[in-house]
Amino acid sequence: MCKIAICPGSFDPITNGHLNIIERGLKIFDKLIVAVAVNVTKKPIFEPQERLEMLKEIFKDSKHVEVDSFKGLLVEYAKKRGVKAILRGMRNMSDYEYESQLVLANKTLDPDVEFIYMMTEGKYAHLSSSIIKEVITFGGSGCGMIHPIVEKRLKDKLRAEIKT
Ligand code: COA
């Protein structure tokens, strides 16, 4: 049987922490669907389509990764795709609090969906999309934090914004 999981996130933008979870997730799952979702509590800088484009470019040679996006509830998307496993990363206790709420709400909506968590590797535990956006905005390097494709896109977007 082919083991598939959905790896959902805002990915605004995707960080090396996310990429590390996906890479390690592929040791457990045969295929991962990396799905750009809308988190209504966040104000993203990239449109969903732009985030999807970056992911497609990053994973263009990965046979075992499919990139997709969805609107609406994660459980509905999982049902539509016929997938019952959701893979997420966890960095610290504040992630734990947020993720436990996410799991409980999703399990209430669909008890058949299972969430699998991987601890973020120590070298990525301090990373967040917000921190990276700040580093790039003020001229710092994203080396070791984000994929070069993401760094280029971020520089184009954020440094253009700062000039206006
Ligand atoms: N390493 C480093 N950083 C990580 C990380 C890791 N392994 N995993 C997450 N992060 C960071 C991200 O950089 C991001 O930083 P930010 O807060 O500065 O933006 C943050 O942790 C979490 O972002 P991300 O993992 O991209 O996604 P999210 O938590 O915004 O995603 C969804 C939440 C999309 C899964 C959730 O909102 C969802 O399912 N939405 C669909 C609607 C729905 O069904 N809602 C639930 C109803 S119960």
Q: Which of 20-24, 136-140, 148-152 has the lowest mean pLDDT?
A: 136-140
Closest alpha carbon to 116 in 27, 7, 34: 7
Report the pLDDT averaged over residues 63-77. 97
Cα-to-centroid distance, 37 and ligand 1 (Å):
9
Closest alpha carbon to 51 in 164, 127, 160, 147: 147
Going by CA atoms, what residue is nearest to atom 43 of ligand 1?
Answer: 73
Catalytic residue among 51, 129, 133, 153: 129
Going by CA atoms, what residue is nearest to atom 32 of ligand 1?
Answer: 9
Predicted confidence at residue 22, as pLDDT, reads: 98
Atom of ligand 1 nearest to the CA of 39: 37
Domain 4-125 adopts which CATH fold?
Rossmann fold (3.40.50)
Domain ranges of the chain: 4-125
